[in-house]
């Protein structure tokens, strides 16, 4: 089994340097795929209330044969649950669906600035962390403006910002902003969500040169940028391969070549996207 290095977050928590995504897995498929992923060596598992698969993910962890404390479970607060009291209740609902008494990382899924409730949600998450129900608190799809509002109002900076990141959307400004605040950037859609990045001649050429797959080359690019990729795969062979990215290194020119594939975002704009 591959050995995956660890990352230490600004709050002192240690998490794997590569994670596993679970959207849009659902039903019994979600349970068996996540169990396969854990068997393949994945220990950082990303879900969300909005994915509708927390119960299946929780059952996969419970039946994986790996002790709970060795699996880092990450879930997210959905838009309709933002606000102080709703966040407290929504966390309990997520923990119950997952079948756990604590969650390793809890994220605000989207800032929803029009709702103007993310700072109140953040206060609730700080309380849940103080009570030991959450180990690390973070956000997803937050811009520097949203991040700074949280620290100005509460003095607590997120440990993680999970953002869209792949060679077609490289977010240098956001990554720098995260790093300047000691926030670990986590990459969603790290392989470009099936949009064709893995077939790009720059990617395939570079993969061939290193004797790895296009997906491994792209995931290695994330790690060398300092980000934590969380690719989803329903295939055990790919789940294993997506962890096996620590036996080679891209040159600075190769990293720059992948970053040169910029085309724009695939998902929503955090300033306007509404997820409920
Ligand atoms: N915070 C947010 O707002 C947000 C938004 C979107 C996603 N996410 C999270 O981020 C995770 C990852 O993003 P994503 O699932 O959208 O996109 P992704 O991981 O970039 O792409 C997933 C696609 O890549 C394929 N794939 C995986 N490994 C491969 C490999 N080694 N070789 C070739 N193809 C491979 C998968 O197919 P197979 O399954 O057939 O292998 C699947 O079609 C999600 O699952 C979710 O947990 C978060």
Residues 52-110 have pLDDT tens digits of 999 999 999 999 999 999 999 999 999 999 999 999 999 999 999 999 999 999 999 99
Q: What is the pLDDT of residue 2?
A: 59
Give the domain ranges of the chain.
14-195+225-234
- What is the predicted pLDDT for the residue at 203? 98
Q: Is the CB of 107 under 6 A from ligand 1?
A: no
Angle formed by the axes of helices 214-225 and 252-259, to 10°?
100
Whether the predicted pLDDT of 1 surpasses 60: no
* CB distance 218 to ligand 1 below 6 Å: no
Identify which of 189, 217, 237, 266 to mutate to test ligand 1's pocket (most ligand atoms within 8 A of the CB).
189
Contacts of 18 (CB under 8 A, 6+ apart): 4, 42, 44, 219, 223, 228, 229, 230, 242, 243, 245
pLDDT, tens digit (0-9, with 9 covering 90-100), for 19-46? 999 999 999 999 999 999 999 999 999 9
Is 51 a known active-site residue?
A: yes
Using a cut of 0.95, tell me whether the model's pTM lies above it. Answer: yes
* CATH-assigned architecture of domain 14-195+225-234: Alpha-Beta Barrel (3.20)
What is d(CA 271, CA 257) in angstroms, rounded to the nearest whole number?
Answer: 29
**Ligand 1 pocket check for 168: Cβ under 6 Å:** no
Judge whether residue 129 has pLDDT over 90: yes
């Amino acid at each position: 089994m591959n050995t995956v290095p660890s990352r230490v977050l600004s709050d002192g928590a240690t998490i794997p340097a590569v994670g596993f995504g679970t959207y849009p897995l659902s039903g019994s498929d979600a349970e068996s795929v996540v169990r396969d992923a854990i068997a393949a060596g994945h220990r950082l598992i990303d879900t969300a209330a909005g994915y509708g698969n927390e119960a299946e993910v929780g059952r996969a962890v419970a039946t994986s044969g790996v002790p709970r404390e060795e699996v880092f479970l990450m879930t997210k607060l959905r838009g309709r649950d933002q606000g102080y009291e709703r966040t407290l209740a929504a966390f309990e609902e997520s923990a119950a669906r997952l079948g756990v008494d604590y969650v390793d990382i809890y994220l605000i899924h989207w800032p929803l600035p029009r709702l103007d409730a993310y700072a109140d949600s953040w206060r609730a998450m700080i309380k849940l962390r103080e009570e030991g129900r959450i180990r690390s608190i973070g956000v997803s799809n937050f811009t520097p403006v949203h991040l700074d509002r949280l620290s100005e109002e509460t003095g607590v900076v997120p440990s993680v910002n999970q953002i869209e990141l792949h060679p077609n959307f490289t977010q240098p400004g956001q990554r720098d902003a995260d790093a300047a605040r000691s926030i670990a950037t986590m990459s969603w859609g790290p392989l470009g969500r099936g949009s064709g990045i893995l077939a790009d001649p720059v990617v395939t050429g570079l993969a061939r040169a290193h004797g790895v797959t296009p997906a491994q080359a792209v995931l290695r690019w994330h790690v060398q940028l300092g980000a934590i990729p969380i690719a989803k795969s329903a295939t055990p062979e790919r789940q294993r391969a997506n962890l096996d990215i620590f036996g080679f290194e891209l040159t600075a020119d190769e990293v720059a070549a992948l970053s040169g594939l910029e085309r724009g975002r695939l998902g929503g704009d955090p300033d306007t996207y509404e997820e409920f």
